């Protein structure tokens, strides 16, 4: 008997039988079917693969090849749920309770101590700097814009720093900033005091030459290393092609040193 699988159309040879109610399982696609529900014919001349015998199966019940739920899969899901719940529980304890504070202190006390030490060191540095510049005053301040033959447009801020201490100061440094009308800072520049340029220099020198003259070490050493009490040192900040919306400016003294400290340096 030649029987054809209704699913994959594979043909199998079976011993001749009149029991067409018999159910078979295809050895190729594993489909279960009854002989009467497929093509079959009696033919002893053709050799084809033998199907796997299968017991009778009630069509109203699941097929025997349906895989049952594996216990391992269920166990894995249970473990995953337990793990997720544990993580959530620990997170709640960590964030909203004090039960884990000993652990927090153990892991983060060192970091907090280092951060606190850095903050204290920075605060101390700011206090020392404030003490060095608190009696220095800016006088004769003016700001103007002028053309330059090689650069374009220059915005110049100049003035002088007066020493109000009862002891000398030196290496005074200022910071100049340009602001828009709304108060937004557009550009800022730090400049060591002690040098100024003439209007002629501002008009004809290129940017590199201007910066070289503004940071002339000879002028700085002569005018900004030993400023006596009541004396002053000039300064000049130059911005090259500044933003067109610049409307205001600000200047502040950001550092100064005592002459003995300068000699050590």
What's the N-to-C CA distance of the chain in angstroms? 109
Check pLDDT > 50 for residue 185. yes
Nearest-Å Rg of the Cα atoms of the chain is 46
- What CA–CA distance (Å, rounded) separates 37 from 5? 10
User: Is pLDDT of 206 > 80?
Assistant: yes
* Average pLDDT of the residues in 51-65: 45
For CA atoms 248, 253, 255, 257, the dihedral sign is positive
Asked whether the beta carbons of 223 and 211 are under 8 A apart, the reply is no
Residue with tokens 């550092």: 255
| Paired strand residues for 143 | 157
Strands 136-148 and 52-53: unpaired
Q: What is the pLDDT of residues 14-31, one digit of tens each?
A: 777 667 777 888 888 888
pLDDT score recorded for residue 38: 78
DSSP symbols for 237-256: EEEES--TT--EEEEEEEEE
C-alpha 167: how far from its chain's center?
48
pLDDT tens, position by position, 104-121: 666 666 666 777 788 888
Distance in angstroms (rounded) separating the CA atoms of residues 207 and 149: 11
Nearest to 236 by CA among 117, 163, 99, 144: 144
- Please give the model's pTM, rounded to 2 decimal places: 0.54
Chain-wide mean pLDDT for the chain?
82
Residue whose token pair is 């002893």? 44
């Amino acid at each position: 008997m030649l029987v054809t699988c209704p699913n994959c159309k594979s043909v199998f040879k079976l011993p001749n039988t009149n029991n067409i109610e018999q159910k078979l399982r295809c050895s190729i696609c594993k489909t279960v079917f009854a002989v009467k529900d497929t093509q079959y014919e009696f033919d002893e001349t053709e050799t084809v693969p033998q199907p796997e015998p299968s017991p009778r199966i009630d069509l109203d019940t699941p097929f025997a090849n349906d895989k049952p739920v594996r216990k391992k899969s269920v166990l894995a899901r249970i473990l995953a749920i337990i793990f997720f719940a544990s993580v959530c529980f620990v997170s709640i304890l960590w964030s909203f309770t004090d039960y884990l504070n000993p652990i927090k202190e153990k892991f983060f006390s060192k970091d907090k101590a280092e951060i606190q030490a850095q903050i204290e060191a920075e605060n101390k540095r700011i206090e020392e700097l404030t003490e060095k510049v608190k009696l220095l005053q800016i006088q004769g301040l003016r700001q103007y814009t002028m053309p330059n033959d090689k650069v374009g447009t220059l915005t110049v801020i100049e003035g002088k720093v007066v020493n109000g201490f009862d002891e000398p100061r030196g290496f005074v440094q200022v910071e100049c900033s340009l602001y828009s009308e709304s108060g937004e800072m557009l550009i800022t520049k730090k400049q060591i005091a002690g040098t100024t340029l003439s209007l002629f220099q501002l008009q004809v020198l290129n940017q590199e030459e201007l910066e070289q003259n503004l940071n002339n070490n000879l002028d700085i050493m002569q005018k900004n290393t030993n400023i006596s009490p009541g004396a002053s040192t000039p300064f000049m900040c130059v911005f090259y092609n500044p933003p067109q919306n610049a409307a205001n400016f600000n200047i502040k003294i950001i550092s100064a040193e005592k002459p003995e400290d300068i000699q050590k340096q």
